[in-house]
Amino acid sequence: MQNQDPRASPTGVTETTLEIGRYLDSTHGDQFAWYDVPGSGTLKIPDWQYFNAQGLYVFDCIIVLFNNRFTMTDQAILTNCRRFKIPTFIVRSKADQHIHNLMKEMGYESDEEGDGNREQLYKSARAQLIAETRQSVKQNLADAQLPDQRIYIVSNKALLGIVKDKAPKKAIDEIELLRDLYGEAHRSGKFIHGVPNTALTSAHSH
């Protein structure tokens, strides 16, 4: 679903979600619902109150989405989800933008550069983003005394391509994220008999 689609959640450079929005899944609209929850930066609520204030305890599954930094609020959400036995997925968004920024730091100047040099810089930046993100999240989880869990690194463009049955060349964890999300929904037993409620919460813009 494109950003301009009227059914899409608002996106932007600054935080754009000010109230909880409900969105039916474009593929399984009769069985799957997504909820976009305001990020902590949009609300004057202490980290430790955020989980209860947003009613996150009612959801069947929660995606903790972050862009640049993994925050104390993210840790608090994961801690409370563990207490309520709610499955969670940690997702870092805008992978394509982060890779491009790393490429520029490595000396990349424009698309007019030779294909060989551009491809090599892309591979190096991609590997660096993946390694740094996984290490950072691993450390943050350890600091919060939370068990290690997988971090999914994704971009909107790659996710959209996969949903439209295309095979994006620059996908990272998008296929695995969708597979694991739907797998969790099936395991919950609500995919056929009810509508799983999946919350998407972010401490930053997405």
DSSP code string of 20-45: -EEEE-SSSTTT-EEEEEPPGGGS--
Question: Can you give the pLDDT at residue 39?
Answer: 74
- C-alpha 147/C-alpha 141 separation (Å) is 7
In degrees rounded to 5, what are phi and psi of residue 200?
Answer: -115, 110
> Domain 21-202 in CATH: superfamily?
P-loop containing nucleotide triphosphate hydrolases (3.40.50.300)
CA distances from 126 to 100, 103, 157, 180, 194 (A): 9, 9, 16, 22, 39
Count the alpha carbons within 13 Å of 48 in the hemisphere toward its beta carbon.
Answer: 1
For the chain, give every domain's residue range: 21-202
**Per-residue model confidence as pLDDT tens for the chain (206 residues):** 444 454 444 444 344 456 888 988 777 666 778 899 887 665 677 777 889 888 999 999 999 999 888 888 899 999 999 999 999 999 999 999 999 999 999 988 876 656 778 899 999 999 999 999 999 999 999 999 999 999 999 999 999 999 888 878 899 999 999 999 988 888 877 655 555 677 766 544 33
Helix segments in the chain, DSSP class H: 47-53, 72-84, 95-105, 115-143, 156-163, 174-188, 190-193
pLDDT of residue 7: 47
Contacting residues for 191 by C-beta, under 8 A, at least 6 apart: 28, 31, 32, 182, 185
- State the Cα–Cα distance between residues 176 and 173, nearest whole angstrom: 5
What is the reported pTM?
Answer: 0.82
Q: Between the CA atoms of 162, 25, 49 and 78, what dihedral angle is there, to the nearest 10 degrees? A: -40
| ∠ CA 58-159-105, rounded to 5° | 110
Q: Which pair of structure tokens corresponds to residue 50?
A: 């955020």
For 199, the enclosing helix (H) or strand (E) is strand 197-202
